[in-house]
A and B are shown apart, each in its own frame.
Chain A
Amino acid sequence: MNLAYYDIRHNMGRFLLTCLGLGLLLGVVLSMIGIYRGLVADALTISRTPAADIWVVESGSRGPFAESSRIPGDTREAIARIHGVTEAGSITYQSLETTYKAKKLRLYVVGYEPGRLGGPDKIVKGRAITRSHYEVIADRRTNLPIGEQLVLGRNTFTVVGLTDGQVSSGGDPVIYITLLDSQELQFELAPSAARREIARGNAQKSADLDTVNAVVARLTPQINPTIAAKAIQSWKHLAAMTQQEQENILLRSVVERARKQIGLFTVLLLIVSTVIIALIIYTMTMDKIREIATLKLIGAPDRTIIGLIVQQALAMGMIGFCFGALLIINIQDFFPRRVLLQAEDGLALAGVVMLVCVLASALGVRLALKVDPATALGG
């Protein structure tokens, strides 16, 4: 006879309500984990899209994401000639704000050379950029439909293709344009003083316009990226790092604080959940003191009583967790930034919740075992 089951069945409404409350709490924990994962995934998305082995940036810079980096436009040709480099591409990155349908739209603009490394890895709708000017591939998150016109700087662009899930480390949706367009855009958006200088012809205008933020390169498998990066490093004006180093920079500098903040908050939430589960189970046990005393009096062994408490705790944790998971799966798309729910995180949390339930029952079990059977006697 499973007492835990009978008790739950008899107080079904109350039990489910408790589970629902716990479910909301665990839903928040799950979403925090999802937000954390989403933050990390978002931070790495843009750097992973080119699937490069090497990043070439300005000397002394840890760019192009963590710090600014400007290198001459002809760097790509020099890199492409290195032994072992199979592909290379120049890329520019810039954040800008434009208006779309009378609303501000923040965008992260990637300029690349069509046909070379650095473009979108997957176009889910529409086509790639075929003309050298004024075509845009936008991410779905911009809500721009194919064929839509978009004003960037002084020019009007046409959306020709869509990507999915391309965001900057700050969560802004990404658009891709040609390198030439992006260089013009960078010039237009440059601080006015610098722009005036260039326009007056004091600087070599063409050379200054032809800068990029980074060159990405792919290597043949035989070449060790670290060694290749070291070799490029020795060139004047250039620095190079491997993909792994680039990702480390992104995680350690760009989103470090946010990552720690959310990580810490998630841990706090878990602690709060533990305390709440413990209190719920303790109260549930308090409510059953008399029944527990009666059970002891009629000869029930401790194992029956521990079973009653621990099984209920586990059932509550399990059902609560399912409520929470269902909730978060259904609302994850309403979050403004990506919430990345991973099965292994869910399983890990489920495991933690089960563990917490068992630990939290300890308090209730202690109370139950101390109950004097004589409590059941008399009035």
Chain B
Amino acid sequence: MSDDVQPDVLVKLKNVSKHFGEGDARVDALRDVSIDVYPGQVIGLLGPSGSGKSTLLNVIGCILEPSSGWVSLDGEVVYDGHWLRPDLRKLRLEKIGFIFQSHNLIPFLDCTDNVAIVLNLAGFSSMKAKARAIELLEYLEVDQRRHAFPAQLSGGEAQRVAIARALANRPRIILADEPTAALDSVRAGIVMDLLRKVAAEQQAAILAVTHDEKIYDRFDHIFYLRDGRLETQKN
């Protein structure tokens, strides 16, 4: 496979396949998927249940090892038949922010600490981490809830704190698996607008899996998956 990485491509997949199990139990979750995602793009991943959307996201997030193919993230080839870096967690910490369907905030940390922990892990001092966490919460307009614990937040507030956490380390790639599934259409729209703002302001790429037709118009591009195959790239 070629190693040419255009510097302005944030996420590049070439002929990535992923199957689970062998023989009769074999499931081809991804077949020959190739994509390019550029800075500032907000991409929607659509497709029926079981079509491989989460699998694709997990491969890009270096959570799931592909069966074959080639992956580069933010100008660095990370997979070429095998992982090229032993410290995938550090790679995630540096390059990728995750937003989950259920916010997945740490229940025993308050909002500020939930965001600050990412910065702590990245080596910031506690003071700096907290300061930046509060800044981010302000940016996402949930700073008035900064001392609340996740259980005390509404769904929309929790999702905004989760986005703040995903943004904390200024990742250039943000992966979201059904980020608006737990929200009503108004809040879903607000969250999507926020993600668009982040993509534009931080020149980040956002890939979001969704079933939510109400927010289709918020995407720059839509990748449609069926049976693990990328069918169309709609604009």
Asked if B15 is an interface residue, CB under 8 A from chain A, the answer is no
Q: Which residues of A contact B116 (CB under 8 A)?
A: 1
Q: A1–B113 contact, CB under 8 A?
A: yes
Q: Answer whether A374 and B89 are a contact pair too, CB < 8 Å, given A1-B116, A294-B104, A297-B98.
A: no
Interface centre among B93, B94, B129 (most CB of A within 10 A): B93
CA distance A7 to B94 in the complex (A): 26
Determine whether the beta carbon of A377 is less than 8 Å from that of B89: no
**When chains A and B are docked, how far (Å) is the Cα of A158 from the Cα of B55?**
93
Instruction: State whether the Cβ of B64 lies closer than 8 Å to any Cβ in chain A.
Output: yes
For B45-60 the 0/1 string (1 means CB < 8 A from A) is 0000000001001100
Within 8 A of B (CB), among A325-379: 372-374, 376-379
- B106 close to A296 (CB less than 8 A): no
Residues on the A chain within 8 Å of B118, using CB: 298-299
Query: Within 8 Å of chain B (Cβ to Cβ): is A77?
Result: no
Q: Does A295 contact B (CB under 8 A)?
A: yes
Q: Are A379 and B108 in contact (CB under 8 A)?
A: no
Which chain B residues in 118-163 approach chain A with CB under 8 Å? Answer: 118, 120-122, 126, 129, 149
The answer on a CB contact under 8 Å between A300 and B89 is: yes
Given A1-B120, A298-B165, A304-B121: A376 touches B104 (CB 8 Å cut-off): yes
Of all chain A residues, the one with the shortest Cβ separation from B87 is A301
Which A residues lie within 8 Å of B117 (CB)?
Answer: 1, 3, 295, 298, 300
Give every chain B residue within 8 A of A373 (Cβ-Cβ). 63, 89
State whether the Cβ of B178 lies closer than 8 Å to any Cβ in chain A.
yes
Across-interface contacts of A81 in B (CB, < 8 A)? none
**Is the Cβ of B64 less than 8 Å from the Cβ of A299?**
no
Chain B, interface residues (CB within 8 Å), range: 20 to 34
| Nearest CB of chain A from residue B156's CB, rounded to whole Å | 17
Collect the chain A residues with CB atoms within 8 Å of residue B126's CB: 1
Q: Chain A residues near B98: list those with CB within 8 A.
A: 297-298, 376-377
Q: Closest CB of chain B to A287's CB: distance in Å?
A: 10
Task: Output the least CB separation between B48 and chain A (Å).
Answer: 16
Contact (Cβ within 8 A) A296 B89 = yes
The A1-25 residues at the B interface (CB cut-off 8 A) are 1, 3, 6-7, 9-11
Instruction: Tell me, yes or no, whether B170 is within 8 Å of chain A by CB.
Output: no
Is B181 an interface position by the 8 A CB rule?
Answer: yes
Say whether A374 contacts B113, CB under 8 Å: no
- A291 near B107 (CB under 8 angstroms)? yes
Q: A298 contacts B93, CB within 8 Å?
A: yes
The residue on B at minimum CB distance from A291 is B106
- A378 adjacent to B89 (CB under 8 Å): no
In angstroms, how far is the closest chain B Cβ from the Cβ of A32? 36
Against B, the Cβ 8 Å flags (1 = close, 0 = not) of A81-125 are 000000000000000000000000000000000000000000000
CA of A238 to CA of B13, assembled, Å: 100
Q: Which residues from B are CB-within-8-Å of A133?
A: none
Answer yes or no: B67 CB below 8 A from chain A CBs: no
Q: Is the CB of A10 within 8 A of B108?
A: yes
Select B100's contact among A9, A10, A372, A377, beta carbons within 8 Å: A377
Tell me whether A295 and B106 are in contact (CB under 8 A): yes
When chains A and B are docked, how far (Å) is the Cα of A304 from the Cα of B181? 31
Please state if B89 and A301 are interface contacts (CB–CB under 8 Å). yes
Residues of A contacting B63 in the complex (Cβ-Cβ under 8 angstroms)? 297, 372-374, 377
Q: Would A378 and B109 count as touching, CB distance under 8 A?
A: no
B102 contacts partner chain A, Cβ-Cβ < 8 Å? yes
B109 contacts A6, CB within 8 Å?
Answer: yes
Decide: A379 and B109 in contact? CB cutoff 8 A.
no
| One of A295, A301, A304, A378 near B54 (C-beta < 8 A) | A378
Kindly state whether residue B74 has any CB partner on chain A within 8 Å. Answer: no
A290 located at the interface, meaning its Cβ lies under 8 Å from any Cβ of chain B in the complex? yes
Q: Which residues of B contact A377 (CB under 8 A)?
A: 54, 57-58, 63, 98, 100-101, 177
Q: Which residue of B lies closest to A298 (CB)?
A: B118
B-chain residues with CB within 8 Å of residue A379 when the two chains form the complex:
101-102, 178, 181
Give Cα A372–Cα B63 distance, bound, in whole angstroms: 8
Q: B149 to chain A: which residues have CB within 8 Å? A: 10
Closest residue to B130 on the A side, CB-wise? Answer: A1
Instruction: Report B122 CB to chain A, min CB distance, Å.
Output: 8
Instruction: Say yes or no: A299-B121 contact (C-beta < 8 A), given A374-B63, A377-B100, A378-B100.
Output: yes
- Chain A residue nearest to B94 (CB atoms) is A299
B226 within 8 A of A: no
State the CA gap A224–B126 with chains docked (Å).
70
Q: For residue B121, which residues in chain A have a CB less than 8 angstroms away from its CB?
A: 298-301, 304
Q: Are A374 and B106 in contact (CB under 8 A)?
A: no
Report chain A residues within 8 Å CB of B92: 297-299
Return chain B residues, CB-CB under 8 Å to A372: 63
Cross-chain pairs A/B with CB under 8 angstroms, 17 sampled: A1-B120, A1-B129, A3-B117, A6-B108, A9-B108, A294-B104, A297-B61, A297-B63, A297-B92, A298-B121, A299-B94, A300-B117, A301-B121, A377-B63, A378-B54, A378-B100, A379-B101
* Sample of 19 more A-B contacts, CB < 8 Å, known A9-B108, A298-B98, A301-B90: A1-B126, A3-B106, A3-B117, A6-B113, A10-B108, A291-B106, A297-B92, A297-B98, A298-B92, A298-B165, A299-B90, A299-B118, A300-B89, A374-B58, A374-B63, A377-B54, A378-B54, A379-B101, A379-B178
Q: Sort A-B residue pairs by CB-CB distance and give the 9 closest, nearest first.
A: A299-B93, A10-B108, A7-B108, A299-B92, A1-B120, A294-B104, A299-B89, A374-B63, A379-B101
